[in-house]
Chains A and B, each alone.
Chain A
Amino acid sequence: MNGLRPDLALIADWVAPRSQVLDLACGDGALLAHLQTTKGCRGYGVEINDAQVLACVRAGVDVIQQDIEAGLGMFHAPSFDVVVLSMAIQMTHQTERVLREMSEVGSEGIVSLPNFGHWSHAWSILRGRMPVSRELPYEWFDTPNLHMSTVRDFEAFLHRLGLTITGRAFLKNGRPVGRLPGLRSTQAIYRFRRG
């Protein structure tokens, strides 16, 4: 066990050895550190938070301190095989723009996100309360999450942006989900390409 967050472990499985990776909102750089040591990948993290930037430096991960919503113009010249956005898309203001830029900067995009459509969330709302769960641990009044979606919402969104889904995986509390992922998964992971 490498201690990697389950969605990151799944993403790492999808990244080919020696890929050039851009990890947006990379947090403490755990994914890149893992990819560097186990798969000989190279790449950069992008992170706005001071403590996380410091954690990246300590982890030996190259990080560019920047708000991903300030645009990815800086990252157009290098060619990235994979651009990752893990568990952060729900916090973006200009979600469409971020996704579009991701698809432009790299050959392949990978996104992990919380599934708002999990049955427990519906149940919570039926009982009159906003859902609070492991993947969505915030109360409605202090949440950084702006754009929540269900699995089906997100697939429709990728489709609308003209992106082709090349892989999908679903997790419930870190374990794979087979049947009825739209209702039973708490996290979804998608990989996609242009066209």
Chain B
Amino acid sequence: MPQRMRFDAPLPLRSGASIAGYELVYETYGSLNADRSNAVLVCHALNAGHHVAGVYADHPEDVGWWDNMVGPGKPVDTDRFFVVGVNNLGSCFGSTGPMSTNPATGKPYGPDFPVVTVEDWVHAQARLADALGIERFAAVMGGSLGGMQALAWTTLYPMRIAHCVAVATAPKLSAQNIAFNEVARRAIITDPEFHGGRFYDHGVVPARGLQVARMIGHITYLSDDAMGEKFGRALRRHVTDTVLRNDYRFTFDVEFEIESYLRHQGEKFSTYFDANTYLLITRALDYFDPALAHGGDLARALAPALADFLLVSFTTDWRFAPERSREIVEALLANERRVTYAEIDAPHGHDAFLLDSPQYMAVMRSWFERIDACVRTQRSGR
């Protein structure tokens, strides 16, 4: 079940602003061992939160976003590990974010919520770890934007992370990636119902902007082949059709199955995701660039890291392509860090990090068995 932790001390943010009196929502699975050495932190990406694994008793349909990876007997085995899922600052899934009340005004933060970065999130997560009595994580893991957080942990808190598991991630976004994010943001910001981010005051939601943002996101999460295989050029059958059509309707309504799919995904998303959060999270993605402060030298940026690393990429992921993971691997090799890199042959594109491909699952399982062995060796060594 979700739990809340309140933090009264102001958290200084990278932007120079700070936030005080914030709350983080988190869930835990498994149990912390006596010497608190079996904790695993799971960092989420854009559209996820603290609900990593399992289902809620009162909402059996609400399955955790990484339930195939985390749970009893799963690759990240909660019979051995104490797993923490935390919802990041600025999110719309329970932690303090733009929808929360700004104590200074008594109204929702909206556009006044400070811009947060990956590093800010990591500092907030570290405070949660303090509160939970976790001095050092056996592993910090995440995919995509979550992988960036895992990476940031290794340099911000090198003594507090033993293993870093970064899946389908990148050391920074490419211009193309930022471009996709900007299209999504413009769709939201130019929606007349966005009201400069104060749409809560008007009792509306910039649903059309969110829908377009989600549609473009979805296109980039799938590979061309996966989309072709799933939808091809199949025509959408309308309710009024009595037989299967083999000709066009010559309208701009939904004609192809892919259009129907994207619209459905967009509409669903716009009912639960906050527009201001979308802006914040895509900006956090854009800003992540640990090498920036080191003249673009990623190896130097990662020099403080002490963790053992597992990097995983997927062959058909063009949003965070294998080459981007290899940049990280190369930097770690230059630093002579322990690193394993698996390039998984999966057809699904970026989404593959959330799906089960046998090789991916097997590599993750074996890696966490290695982490478990480390935890046990250290325990027996004292």
Contacts and interface: CB of A to CB of B under 8 A. Distances in A.
Contact of A78 (B326, B336, B341): B336
Interface string B325-347: 01001100110101111110100
A60 interface: yes
B47 interface: no
A73 B369 CA distance: 31
Nearest to B334: A77
Nearest to A51: B359
Interface stretch (B17-25, B56-64, B105-113, B360-368): B360-368
Contact of B333 (A53, A65, A75): A75
Interface string A59-75: 01011111000000111
A53 B342 contact: yes
Given A50-B359, A54-B359, A78-B336, A60 B329 contact: no
A78 B331 CA distance: 10
B299 interface: yes
Q: Which of A20, A60, A64 has the most CB of B within 10 A?
A: A64
A53 B363 contact: yes
A56 interface: yes
B333 A54 contact: no
B333 A74 contact: yes
Contacts of A74: 326, 329-330, 333
Contact of A54 (B329, B334, B338, B363): B363
Contacts of B329: 64, 74
B370 interface: yes
A146 interface: no
Contacts of A64: 329, 333, 339-341
Contact of B367 (A20, A57, A66, A75): A57
B299 A62 contact: no
Interface in B343-382: 343, 345, 359, 362-363, 366-367, 369-370, 373
Contacts, number: 52
Interface string B274-301: 0000000000000000000000000100
Contacts of B345: 50
A28 to B, nearest CB: 12
B344 to A, nearest CB: 8
Contacts of B326: 74
Interface of B: 299, 326, 329-330, 333-334, 336, 338-343, 345, 359, 362-363, 366-367, 369-370, 373
Given A57-B367, A64-B340, A78-B333, 10 more contacts: A20-B336, A50-B359, A57-B363, A58-B366, A62-B338, A63-B341, A65-B341, A65-B342, A74-B330, A78-B336
Interface of A: 20, 42, 44, 50, 53-54, 56-58, 60, 62-66, 73-75, 77-78
16 contacts: A53-B363, A54-B359, A54-B363, A56-B340, A57-B367, A57-B370, A58-B369, A60-B373, A62-B338, A62-B340, A63-B340, A66-B343, A74-B333, A75-B333, A77-B334, A78-B334
